[in-house]
Structure 1
């Protein structure tokens, strides 16, 4: 989703450093949010990383964006890697985007993606997102997104966002970071419990904190953290549905997704 308020801005240099992940014990149970799955408009599915995912398809344009989403823009290759694409359909002249939604719901634990792609230098109109989502907009969501949000000079391309649980009077909180990467392999993760959410981004594929370049923890209280078990989503789309300013197709490859429950 478009970010409108930056509550905390600060720069982090790219370095191999460690920060505490605030390991927590958590015996609380999450409840299930299924609105995201029920809102899907297609029966197209794929298998990736041991889970079944629904592929978003439409022809007239839908949010986010609005954009056209197609099965040709989200597929798994022979190596088992998930490809998300933005590409121009030469027949219709429309730009087509990729989005998948897990048909399972996940709760407290660590969510981790191994991503290949130029995420720090995406075209100004491109958005790449990894998040959980209940289907209730502006609530119950934890996002990792890379985008310039339509502003070419915006170098704060990494966005971590925590939306409050449904019914909470508390605001959404967000932090953004400037990112300069020397390669195209990164690890993106967040760990959620009933009392905290910790986001981390690393250069390369690692299960530890090697090459950590961004990290943020929010706790409850003072913030509101959803208790729902929710589907995971990944998408690659165009901000406001505006074509890439450079006119080029875009591709992100997700080598793996791993969930480790608490």
Structure 2
């Protein structure tokens, strides 16, 4: 029988394991940002160290995650191994549940619309273990607030899982050319009728929960709770849920970019659902 909502992957396998800590700057698996602790060696395993196989095929290297005066810089850099790149991921230690999530970020190369074709910047909720069957088909409680990636349809998307659901639970859009800074917003809650809602929006520029513009000012927004066949993929949150916010910059199938890439996460805010 599966151990549903099993949170043991976080403690002590990576955050207190001396072998894992060797890969972290100063032996510290955490970085402090926006008043919270973020885990930087999520992908480490006893078998393969910081190497992660498909779909990443790269090294998730905690040592290239940099704390700067602007925030936290996620990078994609070459490694000393042929055709293997180093990539970055942050995982929030707090399990926040329902509420309003807001992330601000800057494309260090100039514009999110020009991020390398093989690079993906992601902001998403995910739990490592499976949720119980009562949660529905989204077994990892995954909500992809934003994935910046180049495709034939656009250069970004909002997504629920599983992706192979019919219809596909995805909303494609284009980040306007020249957009250096973005604000990612997701409101996950239960409405008065106890229906699950996940409302997605992405804005140009840096905003906060206190001054967020109306959705008409966003360059993209999506409310999958209005779509039959998709709204059932919005996960629930329970006392045993262990979904956490992830922020990453990586390469699909390890495909080499044209050169180093970096995105700086400049802010994070959360307001619990009332």
TM-score w.r.t. length of structure 2? 0.71
In structure 2, the residue matched to 1:185 is: 181
Matched, 1:74 2:85: no
Between the aligned partners of 1:122 and 1:206, the Cα distance in structure 2 is 21
Between the aligned partners of 2:178 and 2:92, the Cα distance in structure 1 is 31
Question: Which of 97, 105, 117 in structure 2 is aligned with 1:115?
Answer: 105
Q: CA deviation at 1:242?
A: 1.1
* Distance of aligned partners of 1:170 and 1:220 in 2 relative to their CA distance in 1, 3 Å threshold: farther
Q: Give per-residue Cα distances to partners, 1:56-99, cap 9 Å, x unaligned.
A: 2544333541221111222212x26011000113x434310001
* Distance of aligned partners of 1:59 and 1:196 in 2 relative to their CA distance in 1, 3 Å threshold: closer
Q: Secondary structure at the match of 1:84?
A: strand
* Distance of aligned partners of 1:46 and 1:131 in 2 relative to their CA distance in 1, 3 Å threshold: same
Q: Give per-residue Cα distances to partners, 1:200-245, cap 9 Å, x unaligned.
A: 000101231264100001227841221235211011001101111x
The answer to whether the 8 Å contact 1:64/1:237 transfers is no
Q: CA RMSD in A?
A: 2.7
In structure 1, the residue matched to 2:213 is: 209
In structure 2, the residue matched to 1:146 is: 148
Question: Which of 156, 160, 163 in structure 2 is aligned with 1:162?
Answer: 160
The answer to whether the 8 Å contact 1:74/1:82 transfers is yes
The answer to whether the 8 Å contact 1:33/1:134 transfers is no
The answer to whether the 8 Å contact 2:181/2:205 transfers is yes
More strand by share: 1
Q: CA deviation at 1:256?
A: 0.6
In structure 1, the residue matched to 2:127 is: 134
In structure 1, the residue matched to 2:96 is: 106
In structure 2, list runs of 5 or more residues that go unmatched. Answer: 15-19, 22-28, 131-137, 191-195
Question: Which of 212, 227, 236 in structure 2 is aligned with 1:227?
Answer: 236
Q: Secondary structure at the match of 2:219?
A: strand
TM-score w.r.t. length of structure 1? 0.74
Between the aligned partners of 1:65 and 1:259, the Cα distance in structure 2 is 29
More helix by share: 2
* Distance of aligned partners of 1:121 and 1:60 in 2 relative to their CA distance in 1, 3 Å threshold: same
The answer to whether the 8 Å contact 1:147/1:157 transfers is yes
Q: Secondary structure at the match of 1:205?
A: coil
Q: Secondary structure at the match of 1:180?
A: coil
Q: Give per-residue Cα distances to partners, 1:117-159, cap 9 Å, x unaligned.
A: 02222111111100110114753111010112xx5xx351111
Between the aligned partners of 1:132 and 1:123, the Cα distance in structure 2 is 24
